[in-house]
Amino acid sequence: MCYKNAYKIWRDSLKTIVIGVIGADVHAVGNKIIEYTLTKSGYNVVNIGVLSSQEDFINAAIETNADMIMVSSLYGHGEIDCRGMRDKCIESGIEDILLYVGGNIVVGKQDFSEVKERFLEMGFNRIYPPGTSIDQALKDIKQDLGE
């Protein structure tokens, strides 16, 4: 009983991150690497996989009481797929959840500072340019989740 309780307290104390690949995007490899890296770094990772809609992310975040949603978009349509996501979070009662996005979120070589600006306006907390690996983002995650 005591052991079970200890496990429960430990498990409940982990921060929960919902990850997945948004829209009609099937790039599956990076998603697996993110799951592996975050789990190893001590997070409770809820991976909803590829081809996930905004609602899939939000629903999973509600049920798991998640602290962060980390959206991947690799195929270039990230901006369209992410539009309105923060509003839906607000409607769903998880207005304070952290929203991260990364991968190859827009097509081609656009000026990333502009892209970032647009995503900030859409209510995302952290926006990563192409080529940013998940390891590079770990520092931000730690900081934002208050550890």
- Which residues form the interface with ligand B12 (CB under 6 A)? 24-30, 33-34, 70, 72, 74-76, 100-104, 107-108, 128, 132-134, 137
Per CB under 8 A, contacts with other proteins among 51-70 are: 51-52, 55-56, 59-60, 62-66
User: Closer CB to ligand B12, residue 75 or residue 112?
Assistant: 75
Question: What span, in angstroms and rounded, lies between the C-alpha atoms of 103 and 125?
Answer: 15
**Residue 70, binding choice from ligand B12, other proteins, none, Cβ under 5 to 8 Å by partner class:** ligand B12
- Structure tokens of 100? 């991260």
In order of 41, 69, 138, the CA distances from 142 in angstroms are: 10, 14, 6
Q: Which range of residues in 8-16, 99-107, 108-116, 134-142 is near other proteins by CB under 8 A?
A: 8-16
CA angle 110, 140, 27 (to 5 degrees): 50
Residue 134 C-beta: closest distance to ligand B12, Å: 4
Instruction: Indicate if 140 belongs to the active site.
Output: no
Question: What span, in angstroms and rounded, lies between the C-alpha atoms of 77 and 6?
Answer: 44
Residue 84 C-beta: closest distance to ligand B12, Å: 19
Note whether 46 binds other proteins by CB under 8 A.
yes
Contacting residues for 145 by C-beta, under 8 A, at least 6 apart: 15, 67, 68, 98
Residue of 98, 54, 92 lying closest to 73 (CA atoms): 54
Q: Would you name the residues annotated as active-site residues?
A: 25, 27
Which residues contact other proteins by CB under 8 A?
8, 11-12, 14, 16, 18, 24, 26, 44, 46, 48-52, 55-56, 59-60, 62-66
